[in-house]
Structure 1
Amino acid sequence: MTDLIGFLATMLCLTSMFCIVKLIVRYRSGEPLLTPLPENPASWDGFDVASLFVLFIVCQGLCVAVVQLYFPAANSDTQVFSNTSTEIVVTVAGSKGSDVLGYQLLANAIAMLVFTCVAALILRVRGASWKSLGFQDEAPLTGLWLAGLTWVTIVPPLLAISAFLDRFVKPYSHPVVDFLQADRTAWAIGLVIVTAVVAAPIAEEFFFRRVLQGWLEVKLGDWAVVVSAVCFGVAHLSHGLGWIPLIGFGLAAGYLARRRGTILPSIVLHALFNGLSVMLLLLSDLN
């Protein structure tokens, strides 16, 4: 098993190096890294972006309140649960701490999906089309291929940066990691997958790569990718130094979304990236 993982990791690194060299050659020859498709300019403004950010916090707060209502804390320990741009203190009672954090993860997943649906409907009512919201892809198979190719390209360097920071600077911390290390049941693994591989990619790509970046593209052009990537990284400041490689991920996902005119490939990219992180965590626990 170890030999197989080592072989796959080696092949992934070699493929990543090949892709990076190809991108450098294209850039130096003046060719675009990705052929741009027609743009879908955002019809919303800065007030809409700020309002949807507040909506996201409200959705999370309501879901957290429901969990705390059904799991009253008495003689308990305080733990911090954080997700993207919010950090919420959760009080966990006795031996039920793992269960409470599990329901907390489920509540956050629901909050992210509810936010995405409500925010999309609000923007639709205000005149945005499904295409301008990034939910339509005229060539979905090409988008899937580009998402996979981007994943292969960025994973080795980003994991190398993460490993260096975790080993020599400051250990990475995340409530999802702590939860999965404390509870490795099928229930816990399923909750982590739903939260990290399904809900988070949909909600975060919609907000950062379409709502925020789409609005910034009208004003800043390609620089919108950089600004949204930095915002995406800063939103994860509570997770140790994980925000540094996440800026790199945000640049790749943002560039893909801008060139494709849709967020569907970036959602797939995000899901693949988080899915690999969960798999590596499970494998490290087995070892």
Structure 2
Amino acid sequence: EHDVFDAIKKEPSFLVFAAMFLGTAIIAPVQEEFLFRGLLQGGAERLQRLREARLTSGPLGNPPIVTVGTPAEPETIRGAEVLTWSWWPVLLSSVVFAVMHLGQGLAPIPLFVLSLGLGYLYRQTGRLWPCIVVHALLNAFSLIGFGLQTAAGS
């Protein structure tokens, strides 16, 4: 299960719920999105751009000789075949995000899928705030649903 849910089950008071809500729906999304999307995925994307720039720049600043094949074929740059797959930063951050949630039952599986979506959102916008908002809303709705379920059961 999850430590937050366990804490609320153990002590189902408004104060405990409010503290868990602050940590889960506000602080955790900001920290996790900064770490996984901002630092990890963003850093990997910068490495990818540097690699691509190195591969596509010609000697002494001359324009490169580039032949782009069909989507099924790799690109040919200066006579060398180069596989450029720009989605690896999204995949890397999503795998690490899921692994960091091990020990929470089956949660890492849907969290991996969520992380792929958040990674795509960050990749397309280049901004953390949309990712933080989506992450915060998911956590908030999950916690509110659990809180209502707990209140109804007690």
Q: Using structure 1 for the length normalisation, give the TM-score.
A: 0.39
Q: Which of 91, 100, 118 is matched with 1:226 structurally? A: 91
Q: Is 1:275 aligned with 2:103? A: no
Q: Establish whether residue 242 from structure 1 lines up as the match of residue 70 from structure 2.
A: no
In structure 1, distance between residues paired with 2:141 and 2:117: 17
Give the percent of matched residue pairs that are identical in Structure 1 and Structure 2: 37
Following the alignment from structure 2 to structure 1, what is the Cα–Cα distance between the partners of residues 13 and 122? 36
The separation in 1 between residues aligned to 2:112 and 2:47, in whole angstroms, is: 21
Q: CA deviation at 1:284?
A: 1.6
What 5-or-longer segments of structure 2 have no aligned partner?
49-85
Q: 1:262 aligns with which of 127, 130, 141?
A: 127
The residue type paired with residue 202 of structure 1 is V
Q: Deviations over 1:195-214 (max 9, x none)?
A: 00011000000000010001
**Partner of 1:179 in structure 2?**
7
Measured in 2, the distance between the counterparts of 1:282 and 1:252 equals 26
Greater relative contact order (Cα 8 A, min sep 6): structure 1 or 2? 2
Structure 1, unaligned stretches of length 5 or more? 1-172
After the TM superposition, which of the residue ranges 203-212 and 233-242 deviates more from structure 2?
A: 233-242
Q: Work out the CA distance in 2 between the residues paired with 1:282 and 1:189.
A: 8
What is the aligned partner in structure 2 of residue 205 from structure 1?
33
What is the Cα-based RMSD across aligned positions, in Å? 1.1
Structure whose alpha-carbon radius of gyration is higher: 2
Q: Where do residues 39-78 of structure 1 align in structure 2 (5 Å cutoff)?
A: none
Deviation at residue 222 of structure 1 after TM alignment: 2.2
Give the TM-score normalised by the residue count of structure 2.
0.71
Q: Counterpart in 2 of 1:56?
A: none
The structure 1 segments of at least 4 consecutive aligned residues displaced by more than 6 Å after TM superposition are none
Q: Structure 2 counterpart of 1:236, which letter?
A: H
